[in-house]
A and B are shown apart, each in its own frame.
Chain A
Amino acid sequence: MIEVTDLVKRFRKSWSEEMTAVDSLSFKVQPGEVYGLLGANGAGKTTTLRILATLLEPTSGTVTVAGVDRASDPLGVRRKLAYVPAEAGLPDRLTPTEVVRLFARIQGVADPKAATAKLLDRLGATSYADTPCGDLSTGMKRRVVLARALVHEPAALLLDEPTDGLDVPGRRDVLGLVREQAEAGRAIVISSHIMSEVERVVDRVGVMRTGRMVAEGTLEEVKTIAGSDNLDDAFVSLVEPET
């Protein structure tokens, strides 16, 4: 479903200096699978997701989503996936209904009005569907953001730190929704650095350090690679710089 091969992204820091944010990254995500992209801050997780979402151009490497090549058909890739950035990105003065309907219309959903109402209802957001987004709590906003991402029923979902700023019940809700979406057959990539969340929701993980994939597999496989029984310890040992 999502296939990333030898992805490289370099940023120019100055006229003479470059920084490699993503270095020879490769991974695959199957339909119905939740893939956790893990790493410390600055490891290259968000850059990778932004490249997958066609928001950034890679320096080299290939990405395909549901068989569509990112380089030759970026609009086709955008039709197949939905990207949820770390910031909510909801205009304060518009209501959830207006935001989700706008995206439904642009995505060419057949009946935007009905699809919006149905999705907001399914995500438990009907009670505040007509409240300006600026007046919503962080948890409410997350639900709206998910509704906006899912309104065109994408084949793949990219979630950048989806539980950032949420309280415990809010996190549980969002992670439950992520699992639901995977069960509906979507390929999901979720970036996080909170191991307890990752354990609950992902099928496989890829651990990144300074742009490179340092371990990949199921949680048990990653623990084995790190030589630790505890995921937190395994994560720390994998993402800490080598001495």
Chain B
Amino acid sequence: MSETLRALAFLTGSLLRRLAREGMVVRSLVFPTALVIGTLMATLAVMAAIRTPQTVAVIPTDPVAEAAEEAGFVVVRTEDPQLALDRGAVWASIVDEKITATSDDLGLQQLEALVREARGSAWRPASNPQRPSNVESQPLALRIARLLAVLFTLYGVVFGAGMVARDRGDGTLESELALPVPRWTHATARFIAGSLGLAVFFAGGVALVDAMLDIEAPLIILGHGAAAAAGATAIGIASAGRSTIKSGFSTTLAVSMSAVSVLGSMGLSSEATHFLPIASLSATGSPVVPLLVSLVLGAACSAWFGRAQS
């Protein structure tokens, strides 16, 4: 057994070296960075494009007009603010103590404060100066980190199936299978190398998103993402079967992707499935069980691979 474990360690080390030299490091760091920056830029662009200009119709003699202008609102002075609102010319209208707006934007609270101040009201709404700066960015960070986890899950399928199919196609796997170690060792080495590599670089991606946007519970996201990537790697290895990249790889990918999609859908439709890797991507609880299940899945897929070789 110790000989097999030694061989497993050597094979895993060799595979990790190959993955590193094939540019996995660069890709794994570039993609998350590009994803974060791209998502932020796209979000800002979309918000700018769909943002309704906060135009307010006010009676010309109303003192709130000047205060609203100073606060950054576009003020339209008109004798009939309600008519301007009804025609869709403005976002909000102010008549005496009545504010009418077409949407419940953040500016509404500010406008109410201005009106109350202008009318000498005893109280007015105010935003909390102690509000943590990350309150708005955390949901976005969570979404990006989960998107990253989905990306690494897909990586897992491609890595797992690709490592087997490519090595079978160029004869590397056949040479290795002739070594005096059990066949499951070769699948296990690929499972460990793929999962470890993906987990390390997913951690890098999560750390990056956390540094930029502040994820609320980064370790939980990391755990579920690593479990999903490992589970997907195992599925990729098992579904590679006897295929090679040259002889046609689309069926392998289709089978793997379908299995991953099924697990993902199960996770979205029922929390009871959150003990499974990939299904747990949307979970908020501890990732220990999905991580353990992904290891069991890796062992089962290695055994299946060993049996399928002859």
Min Cβ gap A51→B in Å is 9
Min Cβ gap B207→A in Å is 27
A82, B14: Cβ atoms closer than 8 Å:
no
B182, A75: Cβ atoms closer than 8 Å:
yes
**Chain A binder among B15-23, B27-35, B129-137:** B15-23
Contact string against B for A residues 68-108, beta-carbon threshold 8 Å, 1 for contact and 0 otherwise:
00000001101100111111111101100010001101111
Across the interface, name the chain A residue whose C-beta is closest to B181. Answer: A106
**Chain A binder among B154-162, B171-179, B194-202, B218-226:** B171-179
**A57 interface contact, C-beta 8 A:** yes
Determine which of A76, A82, A94, A108 lies in contact with B18 in the assembled complex, contact meaning CB atoms within 8 Å. Answer: A94
B174, A98: Cβ atoms closer than 8 Å:
no
Determine which of A75, A82, A90, A106 lies in contact with B11 in the assembled complex, contact meaning CB atoms within 8 Å. Answer: A106
**A54 interface contact, C-beta 8 A:** yes
**A184 interface contact, C-beta 8 A:** no
A57-B175 CB under 8 A given contacts A98-B14, A106-B11, A108-B3 = no
A83, B175: Cβ atoms closer than 8 Å:
yes
**B120 interface contact, C-beta 8 A:** no
Across the interface, name the chain A residue whose C-beta is closest to B169. Answer: A87
A85-B175 CB under 8 A given contacts A94-B14, A94-B18 = yes
**B7 interface contact, C-beta 8 A:** yes
A-B contact count (CB 8 A): 74
**B180 interface contact, C-beta 8 A:** yes
A91-B174 CB under 8 A given contacts A55-B309, A57-B310, A98-B17 = no
Give the residue among B11, B179, B180, B182 with the most A Cβ atoms within 10 A.
B180
Residues on B with C-beta less than 8 A from A186 are none
Residues on A with C-beta less than 8 A from B178 are 53-55, 78, 82-83
B172, A103: Cβ atoms closer than 8 Å:
no
Residues on B with C-beta less than 8 A from A148 are 175
Across the interface, name the chain B residue whose C-beta is closest to A81. Answer: B178
**A225 interface contact, C-beta 8 A:** no
Min Cβ gap A200→B in Å is 25
Task: Count A-side interface residues using an 8 Å CB cutoff.
Answer: 30
Min Cβ gap B15→A in Å is 9
Across the interface, name the chain B residue whose C-beta is closest to A104. Answer: B10
B179, A103: Cβ atoms closer than 8 Å:
yes
Residues on A with C-beta less than 8 A from B14 are 91, 94, 98, 102
Residues on A with C-beta less than 8 A from B117 are none
Once bound together, how far apart are the Cα atoms of A145 and B174, in whole Å? Answer: 12
Across the interface, name the chain B residue whose C-beta is closest to A76. Answer: B180
Q: Which 4 A-B pairs have the closest CB atoms?
A: A87-B171, A89-B171, A78-B180, A89-B175
Interface residues of A (CB under 8 A from B): 53-57, 75-76, 78-79, 82-91, 93-94, 98, 102-103, 105-108, 145, 148
Q: Name 30 interchain pairs, CB-CB below 8 A, sorted by A.
A: A54-B178, A55-B174, A55-B178, A56-B310, A78-B179, A78-B180, A79-B180, A83-B174, A83-B175, A85-B174, A88-B170, A88-B171, A89-B172, A89-B176, A91-B14, A91-B170, A93-B17, A94-B14, A94-B21, A98-B14, A98-B17, A102-B11, A102-B14, A103-B179, A105-B6, A105-B10, A106-B7, A106-B10, A106-B179, A107-B180
